[in-house]
Chain A
């Protein structure tokens, strides 16, 4: 019950409880080993008039502190990367869906003097260039224009991801490529949790359905999750893909740890991976 406690002090000792801004910073930054009867201590210290007064101040201060902490965490580059890769996928999926619709619809309107549009976004570009002559053509051309715009947004999102992934995780982005790096970060729930995952988990991130099917005894163990999109996995012959995926995942896990705990770019792990992949691919030539 002395004025000092060995485990640390209450938040109100660091800042005036009615000065919400500085008190909020104290809530987010200070620590204490052991809690005390803070309301009583604050009254005793004379910083508040009574317990009701204390709780009133505490309410204001915790709201403010937590609002600021949420904002800080949510606007971090890592979080922005997470949203942008998800948005890129949404834009791509939606653009493809609309492209199918536009091509099918425009095909029915092509008539004699126009080529029916090709499949995909190229066909949509052709349709967007038509001069509409009927109300139906006006609609399909307008839809085509919007689809082309959406595809452009997808491309813009992709370049945003490409420029931001290296600032979040330079080694991971170098090794995996920025888009795959962003996907891995997204699936793992951030750089910190990716850095804490074992290589075997990194190898099958994104293949959770197959993994759990395997664990329940329905099906083989998955060799790779999203890392399949990496040239080192996809470009390796099927017999060696398991080895390639394992080697890549191992180095990716290390890259994530360097990025999280260190932060500097390290050329040697990239060289190590290249050597290892060369060895695996040599097997192909030997047969």
Chain B
């Protein structure tokens, strides 16, 4: 069997490359069922010891709860802020529109290590460091460009003529927005939510700069753990994390399709 117009030898090479690409994620699964006190392959004893140990780690559990609350807050705020912004940029005419659109996308151009340090320096001065609002604000800085891009793509692919029709039939502007524009944006809004949640929940470099000893996020706690110790506990935590992400993505795929969510055209 040939896949498309690829020869056998080439297919074998590409399978090997995929094995390399997927190896780290796939190998985490068997290791998470190791009962060894250290990392070894193959494990000398198998079991679910580390899965059972996870809930007894207050630092990890606390960080997990913090991350869920922060990601949820960031998602709601991202949507509340990005929907009006996307509407203004896609539907209204005003001076400096393109310039503003680029400015709002700019945080993604900056490396996270630089943005994280920059945010730390300002947050120290205004007392936002290691606070809940501070972490939410830092995450919003990078989730808003994603949400804005997805929502703008959704809006620009929708013809304004439907809104114009509603308006010409006498609907007030707010009614047009509520009854016509918002429902049409629904798939884009679901995608923006999922993306904001994943970006916030997975964010680690910027978080490293703005968290504190009393308030830390799950990826930061995992990073700190891996930095100092190597045992299979983090493999178990990783599997839980991967399953959670998979659940999110499948829910997204069910509702609008992954390719649509990433803002590209359907193939």
- Chains A and B are bound partners: no
Residues of B whose CB lies within 8 Å of any CB of A are none
